[in-house]
Amino acid sequence: MNKICLITHIADSDGAFPIILAHLVFENVDTFSCEVKEVDEVLQPILENHEMYETIYIVDLNVSDAMASTIDENETLKKKVQVFDHHISREYLNKYPFIHVVDTQNGRKECGTTLFYEHLRNKYANASLEKEVIKQMIELVREIDTFDFLEENKEKAMEFGNLYIIYGREKFIEHFLKVIREQETFAFTETEKVLLEIEQERTKQYIEEKLEHVIFATIRGVKVGISFAEQHRSILGHTMAERFREEIDIAVVINVDRSVSYRAEKEEVDIIPLATYYGGGGHKHAGGSSLPKDLQKGIVEHIFHEVEWGNG
Ligand SMILES: [Mn+2]
C-alpha cells in the first residue's frame, strides 16, 4: 500500500488520537500537526507532491474555501483528499464532496477522532479497531473534546484529558498506541492515578489563580470575561463562564503564543458570531480565533517603547 498523509490539530487529544488510529491501520504514514490557520500552508507542498500519497487526510481541521475550490477543480486531488471535521462553523464546506463536517449524529456530538474512526472502520477491516480498549478511549476523547459527557464517564474523561497534558503529545501517542496493541480494556495504571491526583490539584490552583484576575469587558455588545492562559484553556473557559454567569455571556481565554478561545455555558448564547468576526469559528459553545499578526512584537513595543528588532 502506498503512503498515507495525515494532517491533524496540534492542540489536544482529539488531534493526537487520529495519529494513533492511522498508525494502527497503515504501515506507511506521514503525520503533520498544526493550528487551523496553518492548514492551507501545510497542505500546499503536500499537494504539490501528492503522487507520494494514496490518501491525504485532514482531521479535526479544515481547509479554506479557496483551497477547497482548488482541490475540487482537480480530478486527482478531489479523490485523494478527505476532510473529517466537526466544527459547525465550517459546515458550509460540505458543498465539496471530499469534505465531511458533522457536528451531531444520532443525538451524539461527534469529534474529529470519532469521524475518522468511523471512516477507517468502514473502509478497512482491521481487528485492532474493533477492540474494546479502543472504543473506550475514543469515547473518552469524544467527551472531553465536546463536553458532551455521559454522567458515569465525566470524571474519567476529564482525567484522560489531563493525561494528554501529563504525557505531552509525542509520549501520549506512543504510550496509547502500545496500550491499544497490548490491552483489551482501558484502565488507568497506578502511576497514572498518582500523577493525575497531583495534576488535578495543580490544575485547580492554576484555574483559581486565573479566575482571580479576570478582566470584564463588552466586545461588540457581548459581555465577556477575559483571561490570559496557556494551559487548561477549555476547562478555564467553562469554569469562568459558569462562575461569572451573572456578569458575562462569553469567556475569552487568550494564549499569546497561539490563539484566542471562546467558551459559553448559557443555552441561548452562541459564540460563533464573535469568533467568526475575529477570523475564527468553532461550535456554538466553544471556538477559537487567530491572533493578530505581530501581536507579540506589539506587546514588547507597548512595554518598552523604544525597540530595535533583531534578525530571526
Ligand atoms: Mn476536536
Q: What pLDDT is recorded for position 127?
A: 93
Residue 43 CA to ligand 1 center (angstroms) comes to 19
Give distance in angstroms: CA of 249 to centre of ligand 1.
22
Contact between 168 and 231 (Cβ < 8 Å): no
The mean per-residue pLDDT over the stretch 80-99 comes to 97
Q: How far apart are CA 70 and CA 47, in angstroms?
A: 11
Spacing, Cα 169 to ligand 1 middle (Å): 15
Task: Give me the residues paired with residue 261 across strands.
Answer: 253, 288
CA of residue 13 to ligand 1 center, whole Å: 8
Distance from residue 308's CA to the centre of ligand 1 (Å): 40
CA of 86 to the centre of ligand 1 (A): 7
Residue 83 pairs with which residues in a beta bridge? 58, 99
With beta carbons less than 8 A apart as the criterion, state whether 26 and 4 touch: yes
Residues 232-250 have pLDDT tens digits of 999 999 999 999 999 999 9
pLDDT at 197: 96
- Note the pLDDT of residue 2: 80
pLDDT tens-digit readout, 110-134 = 999 999 999 999 999 899 999 999 9
Predicted confidence at residue 11, as pLDDT, reads: 84
User: Cα of 14 to ligand 1 centre, how many Å?
Assistant: 5
Q: What is the mean pLDDT of residues 5-13?
A: 94
Q: How many CA atoms lie within 13 A of 218 on its CB side?
A: 4
Per-residue buried b or exposed e for 84-106, using 16+ beta carbons within 10 Å of the residue's own CB:
bbbbbbbbebeebebbbbbbeee
User: Percentage of the chain with pLDDT > 90?
Assistant: 95
Question: What SS3 string covers the chain?
Answer: CCEEEEEEECCCHHHHHHHHHHHHHCCCEEEEEECHHHHHHHHHHHHHCHHHEEEEEEECCCCCHHHHHHHHCCHHHHHHEEEEECCHHHHHHHHCCCEEECCEECCEECCHHHHHHHHHHHHCCCHHHHCHHHHHHHHHHHHHHHCCCCHHHHHHHHHHHHHHHHHCHHHHHHHHHHHHHHCCCCCCCHHHHHHHHHHHHHHHHHHHHHHCCCEEEEECCEEEEEEECCCCHHHHHHHHHHHCCCCCCEEEEECCCCEEEEECCCCCCCCHHHHHHCCCEECCCEEEEECCCCHHHHHHHHHHCCCCCCCC
Inter-axis angle of helices 13-25 and 132-146, to 10 degrees? 150
Per-residue pLDDT, 228: 98
| pLDDT score for 1 | 55
What CA–CA distance (Å, rounded) separates 106 from 166? Answer: 33
CA of 103 to the centre of ligand 1 (A): 10
Distance 290 CA to ligand 1 centre (A): 16
* Residue found under cell 490563539: 259
> How far, in Å, CA of 278 to CA of 255, rounded?
15
- Per-residue confidence band for 305, with pLDDT thresholds at 50, 70 and 90: very high
Distance 125 CA to ligand 1 centre (A): 25
User: In this predicted model, what pLDDT tens digit does every residue of 127-186 receive, in sequence order?
Assistant: 999 999 999 999 999 999 999 999 999 999 999 999 998 999 999 999 999 999 999 999
CA–centroid distance, 283 to ligand 1, in Å, is 10
pLDDT in tens, 183-213: 999 999 999 999 999 999 999 999 999 999 9
120 C-alpha to center of ligand 1: Å? 17
End-to-end CA distance of the chain: 41
